[in-house]
Chains A and B, each alone.
Chain A
Amino acid sequence: EAGVAQSPRYKIIEKRQSVAFWCNPISGHATLYWYQQILGQGPKLLIQFQNNGVVDDSQLPKDRFSAERLKGVDSTLKIQPAKLEDSAVYLCASSFKETQYFGPGTRLLVL
């Protein structure tokens, strides 16, 4: 069974630019999560989808971050405009019930 796929794996941008990340969850997993992992810290939840609906986006900085999952499968996370403090690994996870499986992450460096 294929795991969670993410692209790109690495991205370097300058501050105030925009960037988008893509995630393809495990087939059949209705729930999809985006996490931000800053160096030296554990992942922090940004947004949770159930199919194509948002369950929780309370920790998403909505002035610059947006996410969508239009057809209830793939998801994109966008940052516009990026700030230096957005440098982190962005992890996508999907789940069926209580077990979450993570993708390899996208490493973002904002200069």
Chain B
Amino acid sequence: GEDVEQSLFLSVREGDSSVINCTYTDSSSTYLYWYKQEPGAGLQLLTYIFSNMDMKQDQRLTVLLNKKDKHLSLRIADTQTGDSAIYFCAESINDYKLSFGAGTTVTVRA
């Protein structure tokens, strides 16, 4: 099975906050990442967090890391229609190789 697991779908109303959750299995992960993929495009790095941090905030994005539970979340404040995309959680272990989840499709409705 996947080493990184995410829920498949999230629907959110425009202006609300979105929270995307992810669990990972390897406790030796050094960095954890969130990438965004729009239709027909490559992956855009949104943010990442070092494993010794609990939280990182970057404008509308807040990343929370619970190492004990191996749980990572991405909160998007004031969600806009342009935030509709697939969001991938990824962990890196050795040599910065990335192991990705299957992605969460976020749909923003008016």
Contact = CB atoms under 8 A, between A and B. Distances in A.
Contacts of B99: 45
B88 A98 contact: no
Interface string B1-19: 0101000000000000000
Interface stretch (B38-46, B52-60, B61-69, B70-78): B38-46
A42 B31 CA distance: 17
A20 B5 CA distance: 32
Contacts of A31: 96
B92 interface: yes
A100 interface: yes
A14 interface: no
Interface in A89-109: 91, 93, 95, 97-105
A99 B101 CA distance: 17
A102 B96 contact: no
B42 A103 contact: yes
A55 B102 CA distance: 25
B43 A102 contact: yes
The A contact surface, by secondary structure, is: strand
Interface in A46-94: 48, 50, 55-56, 91, 93
The binding surface of chain B is classed by DSSP as strand
Most B CB contacts (10 A, CB to CB) among A43, A93, A97, A99 go to A43
Most buried by A among B2, B48, B96, B99: B96
Interface string B97-109: 1111111000000
A28 interface: no
B42 A41 contact: no
B43 A91 contact: yes
A34 to B, nearest CB: 12
A48 B43 contact: no
A111 to B, nearest CB: 20
Contacts of B90: 42
Interface of B: 2, 4, 30-31, 35, 41-45, 48, 88, 90, 92, 95-103
